[in-house]
Amino acid sequence: MISARLHYASLALIELALRQGKPAPVAVREISELHGIPAPFLVQILRTLRGKGWVRSVRGSQGGYRLAVDPAQLTLLEIADAVGCSESSCQTESNETVANGQLHEVWGAAVQASRDVLAETTLADIASKCSPSEAVMFYI
Amino acid sequence: MISARLHYASLALIELALRQGKPAPVAVREISELHGIPAPFLVQILRTLRGKGWVRSVRGSQGGYRLAVDPAQLTLLEIADAVGCSESSCQTESNETVANGQLHEVWGAAVQASRDVLAETTLADIASKCSPSEAVMFYI
DNA sequence: ACTATAGTTGACTATTTGGATCATGTTTCT
DNA sequence: AGAAACATGATCCAAATAGTCAACTATAGT
């Protein structure tokens, strides 16, 4: 139900959030190795994030990625929707009976419940719990 | 996220719940036509439900299915787990970083939230809202 | 200018899963 | 016997996900 794409995208964004103050951008290879994400796959994901304007890329030697938004304004739900963790409740088209309608209401409520949880958590929330032990240490 | 299997299984069980008092069992074909479910697929689903002891089958001519449990005791969550709507939050194995752990907590909470919704609704809840217009009419 | 580094792009493959079907067998009623 | 209806196991198809490749472009440092 939670796709690897979403998990990887979140990990990458957290990593970038932790290094926001730093001058140098973060290389794909570095993120890939730190979090055990297949590098070519990560590239593909970062392209999506770049399309949303959440990260900016710097090309050439010493290039990499940098976070382009306020981590406190970006929720996990937005990320999920961006990477296409298709959260449509149920796309089967049975006959339009009363039972069918009643069920769809419940399916919708269930999906909404999980979306609400994701909507309540921002990138900053998670990053703040990671600060002490993670990469932040390098820039003091 | 909500599989057709779960939707179909629920529809079938509701149909059976609505006819609990009736002497004759309900044929697969009838359920299939009433709710627009592919018959061979429905058979496969009913087999699973039979394995869980929720329905009983009667073979031979005039055969069919009958509900074998109290609709008020069967929740949509149980049905979902039975038909294998695999609700595991995230099976990717990244490096064991703090960020990874934090994220998994959120994924787990999101999945749990939707499970809670399903756990709160019983078969009887839905059936009661369908009674007036559906098949129940036939048996007065 | 040359080279190494690093992102860009687009197409491409593979594995899994869910959805659906078939053929054949067995039971029961008439 | 014959028709109706469930039982079973194998099988197939399509879509989505996960992951890969190769050729290209841009920048930094020498």
- Interface with A, mutate which of B3, B32, B96, B114 (most A CBs under 10 A): B114
Place B90 in a pLDDT band, splitting at 50, 70 and 90. confident
Q: Is the residue at B46 inside a domain?
A: yes
At residue A58 the predicted structure's pLDDT band, cuts being 50, 70 and 90, is very high
Residue B131 falls inside a structural domain: yes
Residue for token pair 């069980």: B13
Would you say residue B17 has pLDDT above 80?
Answer: yes
**Contact call for A130 and B89, based on CB within 8 A:** no
Total structural domains within chain B: 1
> Does residue B132 register a pLDDT over 80?
no
**Chain-centre distance for alpha carbon B30:** 18
Mean pLDDT computed over A50-73: 96
| pLDDT score, position A139 | 43
> DSSP secondary-structure letter at B98?
H
For A109-127, how does the pLDDT look when each residue is reduced to its tens digit (9 = 90+)?
Answer: 999 999 999 999 999 999 9
**Residues in chain B closer than 8 A to A122 (CB atoms):** none
Read off the pLDDT band of B87 (50, 70, 90): low
Q: Domain limits at B41? A: 4-87+122-139
CB A22 within 8 A of CB A139: yes
- So what's the pLDDT on residue A140? 37
Nearest one of A71, A45, A65, A66 to A125, comparing CA atoms: A71
Q: What is the pLDDT of residue A86?
A: 62
Summarised one tens digit per residue, pLDDT across range A79-97 is 999 997 666 677 777 778 8
E strands in chain B: 55-58, 64-67
Residues of chain B contacting residue A119, judged by C-beta atoms under 8 Å apart: none
Q: How confident is the model at residue B133, as a pLDDT?
A: 46
**Overall average pLDDT of the B52-66 stretch:** 96
Residue B74 counted as domain residue: yes
Is residue A138 over pLDDT 70? no
CA distance A42 to A4: 11
Q: Residue B92 has what pLDDT?
A: 75
The nucleotide whose C1' lies nearest the CA of B43 is D6
B52-63: average pLDDT:
95
Q: For residue B82, give the H/E element and its range.
A: helix B76-82
Strand D footprint, Cβ within 7 Å: A 3-5, 38, 40-41, 43-44, 59-63, 84-86; B 25-29, 40, 43-44, 46-47, 50, 57-65, 92
The Cα B127–Cα A7 span in angstroms is 38
Q: Would residue A101 count as lying in a domain? A: no
Domain membership of residue B95 (yes or no) is no
pLDDT of residue B138: 47
User: Are residues B114 and A114, on separate chains, in Cβ contact within 8 Å?
Assistant: yes
For A85, B12, B42, B59, B72, the CA distances from B28, given in Å and listed in that order, are 35, 9, 7, 11, 23
How much is the mean pLDDT over chain B? 90
Judge whether B92 and A36 are in contact, CB under 8 Å.
no
Q: Residue A52: inside a domain, yes or no?
A: yes
Quickly state the pLDDT bin for B9 (edges 50, 70, 90): very high
Which pLDDT does position A95 carry in this prediction? 75
pLDDT at position A135 is 46
pLDDT tens track for A1-46:
889 999 999 999 999 999 998 889 999 999 999 999 999 999 999 9
- How many angstroms separate the CA atoms of A37 and A42, rounded? 7
At A133 the pLDDT is: 46
Does residue A103 form part of some domain? no
**pLDDT of the residue at B139:** 43
- Structural domain contains residue A98: no
| CATH number, residue A8 | 1.10.10.10
